[in-house]
Amino acid sequence: MTLGAMLLLAAIMLRVNTANLTNESIRDDAQYGVLATSIATSIIEEAQSKAFDENTDTMNVTLNTQLTSVLGPETGETENTFDDFDDYNGLTKRDSTMPSATFDISCQVVYVEPDNILGSTTDRTWNKKLIVTITRPVAADSSVLALRTSSIFSYWYFR
């Protein structure tokens, strides 16, 4: 009888510890998700506060052939001196400012067609999409995807 009681107690303790560990893991993932979402939102809002294109920074363009064909920062530009939306193409950095997590951030900017916003095109269009991918390193040689989000920025010129 004692042996049966001890087996039952051990099984209950194992189940409680497993449930507790699962709950902590879910809570941590949710916390990392909120932090990653905040970082991505900040990057997207900052990018959208810039000019649509290097050529629309100081003048208006009326033909999409006047837009930049190569997306990314111009020679000599750094993150602190980005002046247009597509400068964020190729941006990679590590954010370790939070005591609870470190995130690796990478950005990609592509042109998109209005009828296929999930894809991309090599043609210049009035729409650009910023894709922000945030991962969380879990070991020296591996990481976990924390968040991937995107936002479309369009150029509107009214005469």
Q: In the structure encoding, which two tokens stand for residue 136, read together?
A: 């969380």
Strand 116-121 relative to strand 127-139, pairing: unpaired
Residues 6+ apart with CB under 8 A from 74: 54, 87
User: What tokens appear for 46 in the block?
Assistant: 């900052």
Residues 96-116: pLDDT tens digits? 887 778 899 999 999 999 999
Q: What is the pLDDT of residue 103?
A: 92
Where residue 79 falls (left for φ over 0; alpha for ψ -120 to 50; beta otherwise) is alpha
3-class secondary structure, 57: coil
pTM: 0.81
